[in-house]
Amino acid sequence: MQTSHTHEATLVARACLNVAGFAELYNRLEKKMVISGKSLSTLENYSRHMAHIALHYNCLPTALDAEQIEDYLFLIKSQKAPSDSYFKHAVYGLRFLFRLEGLDERAIELPSLKRDKKLPAVLSKAEVKALLKAPTLLKHRLLLAIIYGCGLRCSEVRNLQIKDVDLDRGMLHIRQGKGRKDRYVPLRSMLCRGIKTYLDAERPRHYLFNGKDYRSPLSERGVQWPLKEAVKKAKILKPICVHTLRHSYATHLLEDGIDILSIKELLGHEAIETTLVYLHIARIKPVLSHCPLDTLYQS
């Protein structure tokens, strides 16, 4: 079965081979994105869409007029793209490309996109317990436990190295997370014991969770598959993805009384607004009706 990463690489390679000037355009796009600090996944998303539109019209996206761009966006929207983010990345990719090529006026012509205001699905603590108990393999149980217990993104858990685990201090070093930021998150005693047992049993050599060999990290599918199987075994009916465990981590911290600013730092969020969404999800005990006059003269 062909992975999404292989499919994207093949799509870009086809465009480089079949569309005049696309290889040079892709090289400029790659250099600009690396310099501006954007992630590899963003480069893959944007280049995939640029390759797709180039192959669709058999010319560079920058050579298309406004009507052709509109027809293309209408086509992928009306054909029910694989996800809402698919359409958004097509627009964002075109916008980035036009600005890269000095076509700012073309970027402005693209449709403005409203941010989704949907609240994410969150597991209850009972559901998390059932989920973590479900996998048969120790590796899979620990993988899911670390994602939930440390609030990690999929890319962050995949790229964990053994040297990032400090069992003596009970800390986990997240290197170059989203926005190329490092951070530390605490490892509680249960996770420390689980990691020690796993290290003694599995003897990984470089990555904490390696892929097909010790030199490569676990693939995205290597994280998604054990979660999917655990969800089925635990008979959880909610729509669950890897990021759901991160949402659940943040929500449970808030419900346990951890302040929102500390949660922001633990999650590695750039802006507090991103973290504030959990205030709408968490079941926080209501504060009794209070008037500041009650305590004004007590000091």
Say which DSSP state 277 is in.
G
Q: Per the residue annotation, which of 141, 153, 247, 252 is the catalytic one?
A: 153
Closest by CA to 121, choosing from 278, 270, 298, is 278
173 is catalytic: no
Pull the structure tokens for residue 27. 């090289």
Torsion of CA 27, 32, 37, 39, to 10 degrees: -40
Q: Per the residue annotation, which of 173, 178, 183, 221 is the catalytic one?
A: 178
212 is catalytic: no
Closest by CA to 119, choosing from 223, 269, 237, 250, is 250
Q: Is 241 left (phi over 0), alpha (psi -120 to 50) or beta?
A: beta
* Distant-in-sequence contacts of 203-209, Cβ < 8 A, 24+ apart: 204/162, 205/162, 206/161, 206/162, 207/159, 207/160, 207/161, 207/162, 208/160, 208/161, 208/162, 208/164, 208/165, 209/139, 209/143, 209/157, 209/158, 209/160
| Beta bridge partner(s), residue 210 | 217
285 is catalytic: no
Q: Per the residue annotation, which of 14, 88, 233, 243 is the catalytic one?
A: 243
Q: Which residue type sits at 234?
A: A
What are the distances in angstroms from CA 96 to CA 4, 49, 91? Answer: 22, 12, 9
Q: Per the residue annotation, which of 49, 89, 139, 246 is the catalytic one?
A: 246
CB atoms within 10 A of CB 280: 10
153 is catalytic: yes
At a CB cut-off of 8 Å and minimum separation 6, what does 155 contact?
A: 41, 177, 178
Annotated catalytic residues are: 153, 178, 243, 246, 269, 278
